[in-house]
Amino acid sequence: MRLGAHMSAAGGLHEAFKRGHEAGCDSMLVFTKSNRQWAAKPITPDDVEKYRQAQANYSHIFPVAVHASYLINIASPDEALWEKSYKALRDEVERAAAFDIPLLTFHPGSYMDGDETTGIAQIARALRRLLADTAPSVTICLETMAGQGTNLGRTFDHLAAMLDGADRHERLGVCFDTCHVFAAGYDIRTPAAYEQTLAEFDKVIGLEWIKCFHFNDSQHELGSRKDRHEHIGDGHIGREGFANFVNDPRWANHAAHLETPKTEKDADGKEIDMDVENLRRLRELVRGSGD
Ligand SMILES: [Zn+2]
Ligand SMILES: [Zn+2]
């Protein structure tokens, strides 16, 4: 698999490549704007040029994927917030297209004081408009969610309904987050549980819709519906769970990105780069990788 992590774009998106290289990424996940603000500085030709140069210098890092802002909620029953969210998501797709980034993942959203059915209908409405309004180069991925509060995307049925509502358009896909799927109640810890969960995904959605992964262990138990990421092997999924993914030939060319805490302190209080450590743990699980 093309393993990587979320990389900071502080100082410009091009700077993420250097950081990704130092962490040992084969691919990486980025924000093209602040993930907790609606507004963004427009992208300049200079930004794009610097990005292209960095991409050429670090051509072993691909694909790059964008994570959209956490503020976006296209499931909202509030029309003003829905419209604001729609425009922000459209902007995210256009920003990704400006850098020629092929993948964008976003959280489907929360139905708030509405209900599941109307929430999913709101999402489908936004997706149909988005597909008509944006450049065709970006694949838009709905992320599997843990199901906190009124979060949609917790079940494979939710995601299938969202895709169906947008006519299963070829520019759509699913980003499979291991922590979220596990917290939502789908077991992936043993080879048998993993195969059963994937068979369920295949039946309800279709495995071909999985375009990328987020690799996070889970601080909470199976079915907790709590979204708290843990380092690989230190949570309730455990190393064997990740071994199922990294050794599955179906995902050999898929990107998988860590969204785990960046640093920890060792016993002597020295800072450890946890992206380096988590990538090392994942690569150690690949069979035939040595000892
Ligand atoms: Zn994620
Ligand atoms: Zn999460």
The per-residue pLDDT for range 104-127, each reduced to its tens digit, is 999 999 999 999 999 999 999 999
Name residues whose C-beta falls within 8 Å of residue 143's C-beta, 6 or more positions apart in sequence.
105, 106, 107, 108, 153, 174, 175, 177, 180, 214
Average pLDDT for 41-55: 97
Structural contact between residues 261 and 180, judged by C-beta atoms closer than 8 angstroms: no
| Ligand closest to the CA atom of residue 29 | 1
Is the confidence at residue 290, as pLDDT, over 70? no
The C-alpha R_g of the chain, in whole angstroms, comes to 18
Average pLDDT for 89-93: 97
State the helix-helix crossing angle for 191-204 and 156-165, rounded to 10 degrees. 30
Task: Give the fold, CATH level 3, of 2-284.
Answer: TIM Barrel (3.20.20)
| Ligand closest to the CA atom of residue 67 | 1
Cis previous bond, 63, omega within 30: yes
Q: What percent of the chain has pLDDT over 90?
A: 97
pLDDT for 204 equals 98
pLDDT grade, residue 135 (50/70/90)? confident
Is the confidence at residue 36, as pLDDT, over 90? no
pLDDT for 288 equals 82
- Taking the C-alpha atoms of residue 266 and residue 276, their distance in angstroms, rounded to an integer, is 14
Question: How is 76-107 classified by DSSP, letter by letter?
Answer: -S-HHHHHHHHHHHHHHHHHHHHTT--EEEE-
Average pLDDT for 199-208: 98
At 144 the three-state DSSP class reads: coil
Domain parsing of the chain, residue ranges = 2-284
pLDDT grade, residue 134 (50/70/90)? very high
- Taking the C-alpha atoms of residue 214 and residue 178, their distance in angstroms, rounded to an integer, is 6
- Taking the C-alpha atoms of residue 140 and residue 211, their distance in angstroms, rounded to an integer, is 9
Q: What percent of the chain has pLDDT over 70?
A: 99
- Taking the C-alpha atoms of residue 156 and residue 141, their distance in angstroms, rounded to an integer, is 14
Give the dihedral of Cα atoms 143, 211, 231, 60; nearest 10 deg.
-140
- Taking the C-alpha atoms of residue 27 and residue 17, their distance in angstroms, rounded to an integer, is 9
- Centroid of ligand 2 to alpha carbon of 214 (angstroms): 9
- Taking the C-alpha atoms of residue 226 and residue 29, their distance in angstroms, rounded to an integer, is 22
Is the confidence at residue 144, as pLDDT, over 60? yes
- Centroid of ligand 1 to alpha carbon of 65 (angstroms): 12
pLDDT for 35 equals 86
Q: How far apart are the first and last CA of the chain?
A: 19
* Residue indicated by tokens 């960046």: 262
Mean pLDDT rounded to a whole number for the chain? 97
- Centroid of ligand 1 to alpha carbon of 44 (angstroms): 28
- Centroid of ligand 1 to alpha carbon of 116 (angstroms): 21
- Centroid of ligand 1 to alpha carbon of 291 (angstroms): 30
pLDDT for 220 equals 98
